Amino acid sequence: MSLVQWDHICQPKLCGGLGLKNLSLINEALLMKIRWGLISSPNSLWVQVLLSKYTLNHTSLPNVLLMKYGSYMWKAVAGIWPEVLKGIKWDIGNGNKVRFWWDNWAIEEYPLHAFASQPIPLEQVNECIARFITDEGAWNWRLFANFLIVAIKPLNMSDEDDQMYWAYSKSGGFTTKSAYLALSKMTINDEDSFWSFVWHWRGPQRIRTFLWVVGQNRLKTKAELFRRHIGADMRCARCGCLIENTLHALRDCPGAKDVWLALLPFEIRQ
């Protein structure tokens, strides 16, 4: 009998699961790591080898989606691009690196071309942000106001290069763990102090596992078995109480209560 759903088991331990990894998502997270490396480490030898093998350069790289040719690995890396794109954010410096229409810099998860009201002029498609700024540092609205259906904020430009960062980690650097959590739609904020208590309880592992089952409310009590259409009644076999649920089995049943009372100091017991 499976007591707890697989999805729950795959969640981190401090979120109520058993921390088992979903191998399919781990694979995707590792592919994302390769894809991130292709963009963030342009001077690495392995990046240059791949770019030369597929006759790409860094301008064309972000646009590479699925191809008909290429190794299985390359196709997989190309196919994971939309997921990587969601996590890429930019700190705008001089605006010479980030492409105005195609990079995620203005609006959550979406590049500006998603908000274009009509086809973007060819000469603008791959232009960087700096091209859309006037000498005074303001937006040159004349260039794009007719195509864009959303408002964009003024930029605080600087002389620094534009910096790419990973939105799902605190440090801004890519980690496979943060990519995995993003793919799983989980955040570490889901941590629950109850599960922390369970897994940090000082005692045998089998007791911690038992506490986890109790916390999931999946102890095989008569009520739980009845819910699963196993057995015809929910009556407690020890005391005859009408419903044997978790609280009854562990706390309220006379046999359990005697154990708890025996643990209490004599004065409180009175």
CB 223 within 8 A of CB 202: no
Q: Yes or no: say if 149 and 110 are a contact pair by the CB < 8 Å rule.
A: no
- With CB under 5 A as the contact rule, the residue among 18, 143, 241, 250 that binds Zn ion is 241
For position 38 contacting Zn ion by CB under 5 A, the verdict is no
Number of residues interacting with Zn ion: please give it, by CB under 5 A: 5
Name the minimum Å distance from CB 240 to Zn ion.
7
- 253 is a site residue for Zn ion (CB under 5 A): yes
- Residue 218 or 222: the one with the smaller Cβ distance to Zn ion is 222
Question: Is residue 239 a contact point for Zn ion (CB under 5 A)?
Answer: yes
255 sits in which H/E element: helix 254-263
Among residue numbers 54 through 113, which ones bind Zn ion (CB under 5 A)?
A: none
Q: Which of 177, 227, 228, 238 binds Zn ion (CB under 5 A)?
A: 238
Considering the rule CB under 5 A, would residue 181 count as an interface residue with Zn ion? no
DSSP string, 166-179: ETTSSSSS--HHHH
Least separation in angstroms between CB 219 and Zn ion: 13
Which token pair is 214? 């109790």
Q: b/e string for 172-199 if b means 16 or more Cβ within 10 A?
A: eebbeebbbbbbbeeeeeeeeeebeebb
Q: Please, which of residues 198-237 interact with Zn ion by CB under 5 A?
A: 236
Structure tokens at 230: 């196993």
Interface contacts to Zn ion, rule CB under 5 A: 236, 238-239, 241, 253
